[in-house]
Chains A and B, each alone.
Chain A
Amino acid sequence: DIQMTQAPSSLSASVGDRVTITCRASQSISSYINWYQQKPGEAPKLLIYSASSLQSGVPSRFSGSGSGTDFTLTISSLQPEDFATYYCQQTFSIPPIIFGQGTRLEFK
């Protein structure tokens, strides 16, 4: 199975900061990576698909990049509503579909 390693597992930041979360695949997954945001008590929400495509309705401060094994999710200027947990997901080799372990973004 392909493993997805996210870093960091938690991150403290302030409103207006630029934040980067990384995800590394255990083998090449081309661009078969997606990013989700989850707030406490809510279902996950799709942010980015195919490594860099912004889901409709998602603010443009969110962006994704990478190909192969190394990927990043960037929030260009943190807003109060962005404090949440973020997950990467690989859909290159299925089953199984693997999620990263999550990155908790907290207010500094």
Chain B
Amino acid sequence: QVQLVESGGGVVQPGGSLRLSCTASGFNFNNYGIHWVRQAPAKGLEWVAFIRHDGSIKYYVDSVKGRFTISRDNSKNTLSLQMNSLRPDDTAMYYCARKKIAKDIKVEYFDYWGQGTLVTVSS
């Protein structure tokens, strides 16, 4: 079955760095774009970044541009999020989610999500 498993979260000081990973199984990872979505404690969902199936296109929310880098290794079925210059407002649960396109009208949606990895930025 389709599985996405995040790892790499932890506690880091402001200004520090962290690298999150998302390991996929149960589907052909090469064929799917993947998103990162985060959720601050007791807050709503915020889309963070996206990478196309072949890595050729990447998008970021404005608040992380220049600080976060999304990448993937299709030979290892792994997605990464390198997070630099971390700030307290980056504290959140980080989820990876698989992109799916509806066959009829091409609407994009997220059909599978990982369980999340918690990032805490605090001194």
Contacts of A42 in B (CB 8 A): 115
Residue of B nearest to A30 (CB): B105
Interface of B, secondary structure class, is strand
Contacts of A99 in B (CB 8 A): 44-47
Query: In angstroms, how far is the closest chain B Cβ from the Cβ of A102?
Result: 5
Among A14-22, A45-53, A72-80, the stretch that binds chain B is A45-53
A34 near B: Cβ within 8 Å?
yes
Contacts of A91 in B (CB 8 A): 107-109
Contacts of A50 in B (CB 8 A): 102, 104-105, 107, 109
B108–A31 contact, CB under 8 A?
no
A residues 7-59 in Cβ contact with B at 8 Å: 30-34, 36, 38, 42-46, 49-51, 53, 55
A46–B102 contact, CB under 8 A?
no
Contacts of B114 in A (CB 8 A): 43
Contacts of A33 in B (CB 8 A): 107
A101–B60 contact, CB under 8 A?
no
B59–A94 contact, CB under 8 A?
yes
Contact of A102 among B45, B110, B116 (CB under 8 A): B45
A102–B95 contact, CB under 8 A?
no
Complex alpha-carbon distance, A42 and B39, angstroms: 11
B109–A49 contact, CB under 8 A?
yes
Complex alpha-carbon distance, A43 and B98, angstroms: 13
A87 near B: Cβ within 8 Å?
yes
Query: In angstroms, how far is the closest chain B Cβ from the Cβ of A54?
Result: 12
A63 near B: Cβ within 8 Å?
no
B102–A53 contact, CB under 8 A?
yes
B residues 81-123 in Cβ contact with A at 8 Å: 95, 97, 100, 102, 104-105, 107-111, 113-116
Query: In angstroms, how far is the closest chain A Cβ from the Cβ of B95?
Result: 6
Binding site for B on A (CB under 8 A): 30-34, 36, 38, 42-46, 49-51, 53, 55, 87, 89, 91, 94-102
Binding site for A on B (CB under 8 A): 35, 37, 44-47, 50, 59-62, 95, 97, 100, 102, 104-105, 107-111, 113-116
Further 10 A-B residue pairs, CB within 8 A, beyond A50-B109, A99-B45, A100-B44: A31-B105, A34-B107, A34-B109, A43-B115, A44-B37, A44-B97, A89-B45, A95-B61, A99-B44, A99-B47
